Amino acid sequence: MMNTPENTLYIRMGGEATLQKLVTLFYDKVAKHPDLAPIFPDDLTLTAEKQYKFLSQFFGGPPLYSQEYGHPMLRARHLPFEITPTRAKAWLACMHETLDQMELDKQVKDEMLSRFTTTAYHMMNTPE
């Protein structure tokens, strides 16, 4: 499926409602994951809100993150945290589980996972 301006992944997944649900389910898992919890703040409210705003634009919806925080510079913003291959895999496992819990079209889910996978591996900055 082509991601044209009229038919973005954002629209096909169900937009705001889908992304709000996704970040809620996802950070519940992150908070409980032994490899991830130690590098995240105890209160994940702001983290989830930023992620929601980022994913909105990442998938072709409104540029909510940049409007508020400027250019994402995602890799640079992750440099203060040790992102090992194990942590990248853990992050992706939480996301995979989240997407499996949601009622999404298989094609949409596969496209989302593929974009998450590329980006997660790009965030790695520390060997095991």
Segment contacting ligand HEM by CB under 6 A, of 2-10, 14-22, 35-43, 97-105? 35-43
Q: Which residues contact residue 85 at a Cβ distance below 8 angstroms, ignoring those fewer than 6 apart?
A: 124, 127, 128
Q: Does position 109 bind ligand HEM by CB under 6 A?
A: no
Which pair of structure tokens corresponds to residue 19? 């992304």
Minimum CB distance to ligand HEM, residue 54 (Å):
3
Are 31 and 37 spatial neighbours (Cβ–Cβ below 8 Å)?
yes
Contact between 51 and ligand HEM (CB under 6 A)?
yes
14: left (phi over 0), alpha (psi -120 to 50) or beta: left
Nearer to ligand HEM, 1 or 76 (CB): 76
Query: Counting contacts by CB under 6 A, is residue 91 touching ligand HEM?
Result: yes
End-to-end CA distance of the chain: 37
Number of neighbours of residue 41 by Cβ within 10 angstroms: 9
Please say which residue, 10 or 116, places its beta carbon nearer to ligand HEM: 116
Taking CB under 6 A as the binding criterion, the range among 2-10, 21-29, 77-85, 97-105 that sits at the site for ligand HEM is: 77-85
Query: Exactly one of 9, 14, 37, 50 binds ligand HEM (CB under 6 A); which one?
Result: 50
